[in-house]
Amino acid sequence: MTPLRRSVMKALAETHVPLGAYEIVERLAAAGEPTPPMSVYRVLDFLVAEGLAHRIESRNAFLACGHPHDTDEVVVFLICERCGLTKEVASHAVGRDLAWAARAAGFEPRQRVLEVAGTCAHCRETVAAEVAGTAGAG
């Protein structure tokens, strides 16, 4: 790992919110490591290819990956629409069903990643507390 790759990986690992390339550029600049965006994009491509990071397509952003994946599992990203928190979970059952459906359609998937948007537990609790506070004020 080159120093730049380590720096980009560190920026990704420090958060559970996907980061865009320009956000990473800003974080590196703030840490005294000014880096051209194209260099960050090349590093991100490398990290994704090596299985060290994932690209969150719907956000055009990246997230560190802390563990290897089995070839028969699907990676599922649970993305909070309110705070951006993103949890990575893997599912063999979804992978099995998706493989079956793909074979039945004569399709060979290149990538087995799903993104699910919704609201995390923390944000649901916050909203519930806000609603309860509003109801008590009236």
Residue 87 pLDDT grade (very low, low, confident, very high; cuts 50, 70, 90) = very high
Q: Which tokens in the block code for residue 73?
A: 């599992």
Strands 113-118 and 74-80: parallel
Residues in CB range of 137: below 8 A, 6 or more apart: none
- The pLDDT value recorded for residue 134 is 78
Q: Domain map of the chain by residue range? A: 1-67, 69-138
Separation of alpha carbons 22 and 124, rounded Å: 30
* pTM for the model: 0.81
Same fold, 1-67 and 69-138: no
Query: pLDDT over 90 for what percent of the chain?
Result: 68
Q: Which tokens in the block code for residue 57?
A: 């397509």
More confident residue, 29 or 1: 29
Residue 11 pLDDT grade (very low, low, confident, very high; cuts 50, 70, 90) = very high
CATH level 2 (architecture), domain 1-67: Orthogonal Bundle (1.10)
- The pLDDT value recorded for residue 116 is 95
Report whether pLDDT(62) > 70: yes
Q: Are 80 and 120 in contact (CB under 8 A)?
A: yes
- The pLDDT value recorded for residue 117 is 96
CATH level 2 (architecture), domain 69-138: 2-Layer Sandwich (3.30)
pLDDT in tens, 29-43: 999 999 999 999 999
Residues in CB range of 47: below 8 A, 6 or more apart: 5, 8, 9, 12, 53, 62
Residue 138 pLDDT grade (very low, low, confident, very high; cuts 50, 70, 90) = low
Separation of alpha carbons 56 and 98, rounded Å: 19
Strands (E), 1-138: 53-56, 61-64, 74-80, 86-91, 113-118
More confident residue, 78 or 67: 78
Q: Which tokens in the block code for residue 138?
A: 């009236």
Report whether pLDDT(71) > 80: no
Q: Are 84 and 47 in contact (CB under 8 A)?
A: no
